[in-house]
Amino acid sequence: MEMPVHGFQTVDSLDFRRGMSRLGAAVNIVTTKAADGPYGFTASAVCSVSDTPAMLLACLNRTSSCFPAFEKAQYFGVNTLSSGHEALSNLFGGKTAMAERFAGGQWREGCSGSPLLADALVHFECELVQSLDLGTHRVLFGRVIGLATGDCEDALFYVARRYATLSTREA
Amino acid sequence: MEMPVHGFQTVDSLDFRRGMSRLGAAVNIVTTKAADGPYGFTASAVCSVSDTPAMLLACLNRTSSCFPAFEKAQYFGVNTLSSGHEALSNLFGGKTAMAERFAGGQWREGCSGSPLLADALVHFECELVQSLDLGTHRVLFGRVIGLATGDCEDALFYVARRYATLSTREA
């Protein structure tokens, strides 16, 4: 149980997750290359921080099997998923071994070595510039050193505990 | 121009914004109560950080007219928008005076004083526990001390520089 601080108690984690399920988000696979191979996890907690310089953030659970790899990483990739990537999202969001996760998609190495998903909606290659531990998670802040958009124009979202898609085709 | 660090140059801000436009997000109005009245801004850079304890983050441009109010704030609210809130989102995302922004919606004060939007998809009341300046923005980290969901079940998103909606109705 959380102790109240300054008089207000923290909301229960189950209530928080129920509330957060209404705050939908794009689905991403965050990747890095470690000495023993590629690592990656599915993340909806990814957002833009600044455009000058270009920076984004991604949140990672510190109990994740990926955590030791990201703890040592100097670079990481953020691969935003398209419609049709539901199975890949599930693969990178579960307990599957890393080699099996990466076998589920087509990857190439970016200039920093980070695995980039060939058919991502968009991918960002980042240099880790700061990190911050809060609660169960580490927030990774990345300076964006490369990006490319893919051919698919339908974005994958996760909202109300299910997948949905929205078009990104420019009018 | 950004100088290269560790050999990789930061991507151009226009390219970054073009790439980021593919990474769609829910739309929120982040609010606080200052000594001279309520303040609020539209933000898509909001995400969950941790569920134990319940924490979220929101990014705010430090050149925003709201910034001085949030710099002093101990509490803030995150109001996730529903379909039908497009005009309110535009109002809180522009240069409109604060009183006029808040006149565009129905608000109540939360336990911490933060303005909460009566018909938000969900709103979170937060205590600021940490903040971090990166590039042009400040990242506000909040411990969630209250939340409530509204009656509307259609969530507002911003992707490819336009609004879209997705249902949050539980199957």
From the candidates A12, A20, A75, which should be mutated to test the interface with B, based on the most B CB atoms within 10 A? A20
Inter-chain CB proximity B54 and A12 less than 8 Å: yes
From the candidates B116, B119, B126, B143, which should be mutated to test the interface with A, based on the most A CB atoms within 10 A? B143
Mean pLDDT over B38-62 rounds to: 98
Q: Which of residues 89-108 of A touch B (CB under 8 A)?
A: none
Determine the distance in angstroms separating the CA of B72 from the nearest CA of chain A, rounded to an integer.
Answer: 16
- Structure token digits, residue B11: 């991507």
Q: Any residues with CB less than 8 A from the CB of A91 and at least 6 apart, and which?
A: A100, A101, A104
Closest chain B residue to A126 measured between Cα atoms?
B10
pLDDT for the residue numbered A7: 77
User: Dihedral of CA A31/A36/A37/A39: which sign?
Assistant: negative
Q: Tens digit of pLDDT per residue, chain A (171 long)?
A: 444 555 799 999 999 999 999 999 999 999 999 999 999 999 999 999 999 999 999 999 999 999 999 999 999 999 999 999 999 999 999 999 999 999 999 999 999 999 999 999 999 999 999 999 999 999 999 999 999 999 999 999 999 999 999 999 976
Judged by a CB distance cut-off of 8 A, whether residue B169 touches chain A is yes
Phi, psi of B45 (to 5 degrees): -85, 75
Q: Which residues in chain A touch residue B27, judged by CB atoms under 8 angstroms apart?
A: none
pTM: 0.95
Do residues A159 and A21 make contact, with C-beta atoms less than 8 angstroms apart?
yes
ipTM of the complex: 0.94
Name all domains of chain B by residue range, CATH numbers in brackets. 28-167 (2.30.110.10)
